[in-house]
Amino acid sequence: MGEHYDVIVIGVGSMGASACYHLAKRGTKVLGLDSQPVPNTNSSYNGNTRVIRLTYQEHPDYVPLLKDAYRLWEEIEQESKEKLFHKTGVLYMGFPDGDAITGVKLASKKHNLSYSNLMRSDLTKQFPQFTLPEGMVGALEPNGGYLLSEKIVKTYKEQAQLKGAHIITEQPVLDWSHDNNNITVFTKSEKYSADQLIISAGPWSEPLLHLPKLKLSVTRQVLGWVQPSQPKQFRRGDFPVWNIDPNGDDNLHGIYYGFPIGNTTSEGNGLKVAWHHPGNPMHPDNITQEISANDEEEILLPLRRYLPSALGTIKDIKVCKYTNSTDGHFIIDRHPDSNRIHFACGFSGHGFKFSSSIGKILSELALDKKTPSSIGFLSMDRFTTDK
């Protein structure tokens, strides 16, 4: 049997690396175990950057979590002296009665958040890069922007280690067991024990959780980078993070979104574009990194349609995984088998922006058995039929 720990965290990814950091910050003896190197290109945070925005309409209780997350992003930037968040503003575009535009307005009103309404003529003047169908309008959220996701996972891991966390990588956890006194975690070559366990294994959560009522579907998603012929007008500083809700335009669906061109390698190379939509469910180990003509078309279509001035050579396409819950909301809860075990999963393609606060919440659940954050809406009992 290896050493005994206060808390073991299975999965040092987006949520787990942040949890290790917050646990170590409180002086806890913590072990983080990951099956892969940290960071790696096979997890859910692959692809350099992630959008962050405050005007969240998906559920009213997400906004307070985001306000905590913003505060904690600032804290980790100051502590690590690393630039992790670029506040570029987020430009929403869509039809006036579509989900994106009505969502921004409702969330802003409810939570007293600032945004500006952009009529079509304002959009054309301020953002001439876009070519939009008749009737589309805009809303600009000044506090949105993007996070450097791979750099953040690396930073949280390193800051956790500086505070004494023990992180072991390339050691997959095969299973765990518990009795009244201890949790035991098994890898191929070792056994570790702890008082508390956190499971944050992303796409690989389902088999580790042993919860038959929990259904997660893992989907393959792609992110692409292009080189526009005139890059200047798309650079960070002149161009925001943007998203377009195409609903009502030619049977298109989902959300198309993109990022400005940055000037550091952590931001990726070129103008980044993606499509937020339900991908095909498959086992995470069967998700191929090979790029097809369909993947290329997925990247070029929104440019051809809405941002033709950016069309250019595809420089890179990366593959990533969504872990979808059945209702698209996160799942953060105590494991029904023991109050020493907590888990977070099912981030459904929109969790990264919250990872600073979710790591803290997981540390509070493990150490205090409660959190001041309102996370009742994310509990697992919403899936039980006999409530």
Ligand X SMILES: Cc1cc2nc3c(=O)[nH]c(=O)nc-3n(C[C@H](O)[C@H](O)[C@H](O)COP(=O)(O)OP(=O)(O)OC[C@H]3O[C@@H](n4cnc5c(N)ncnc54)[C@H](O)[C@@H]3O)c2cc1C
Binding site for ligand X (CB under 6 A): 10-16, 33-36, 43-45, 47, 50-51, 172-173, 200-204, 208, 221, 223, 274, 320-322, 345, 347, 349-353
Under 8 Å between Cβ of 375 and 362:
no
Q: 108 or 219: whose CB is closer to ligand X?
A: 219
Q: Three-state DSSP class for 295?
A: helix
Here the tokens at position 248 are 């009502």
Q: Which is nearer to ligand X, 44 or 217 (CB)?
A: 44
In three-state secondary structure terms, 332 is strand
Q: What SS3 state is found at 164?
A: coil
CB of 121 to ligand X, least distance (A): 29
Is residue 275 within 8 A of residue 229, CB to CB? The reply is: no
CA dist 141 to 61, 100, 109, 144, 257, Å? 19, 12, 13, 6, 14
**How far apart are the C-alpha atoms of 320 and 217, rounded to whole Å?**
14
Nearest distance, CB of residue 385 and ligand X, angstroms: 25
* Residue number with CB closer to ligand X (33 or 123): 33
Nearer to ligand X, 25 or 350 (CB): 350
* Both structure tokens of 265: 């390698």
Calculate ∠ Cα 163-168-172, nearest 5°.
Answer: 145
Return the number of the residue (133 or 172) whose C-beta is nearest ligand X. Answer: 172
User: Which strand (E) or helix (H) includes residue 100?
Assistant: helix 99-111
Going by C-alpha positions, the residue among 188, 195, 196, 148 that lies closest to residue 168 is 188
Nearer to ligand X, 10 or 54 (CB): 10
What SS3 class is residue 173? Answer: strand
Provide, rounded to whole angstroms, the least separation between the CB of residue 357 and ligand X.
Answer: 12
Cα(65)–Cα(10) distance, rounded to whole angstroms?
Answer: 23
Smaller CB distance to ligand X: residue 134 or 285? 285
Angle at 59 between CA 16 and CA 196, to 5 degrees: 25
Query: Residue 38 Cβ, how far from ligand X at the closest point, in Å?
Result: 6
The closest residue (CB) to ligand X is: 13
Q: At what angle do helices 355-368 and 62-80 cross, to 10 degrees?
A: 100
Least distance in angstroms from the C-beta of 7 to ligand X: 15
Residue with smaller CB distance to ligand X, 12 or 375: 12
> Least distance from C-beta 172 to ligand X, angstroms?
4
Sheet containing 145-148, strands listed edge to edge, beginning at the edge strand earlier in sequence:
49-52, 145-148, 85-86
Structural contact between residues 314 and 294, judged by C-beta atoms closer than 8 angstroms: no
3-state helix, strand, coil in the chain (%, to 5): 30, 30, 40
User: Residue 98 or 349: which CB sits closer to ligand X?
Assistant: 349
Query: What are the φ/ψ torsions at residue 26 (nearest 5 degrees)?
Result: -90, 10
Q: Least distance from C-beta 351 to ligand X, angstroms?
A: 3
| Closest CB 131 distance from ligand X, rounded Å | 23
Please report how close the Cβ of residue 340 comes to ligand X at its closest, in angstroms: 18
Q: Which is closer to ligand X, CB of 156 or CB of 234?
A: 156
In the complex, least distance from residue 265 CB atom to ligand X, rounded to whole angstroms: 19
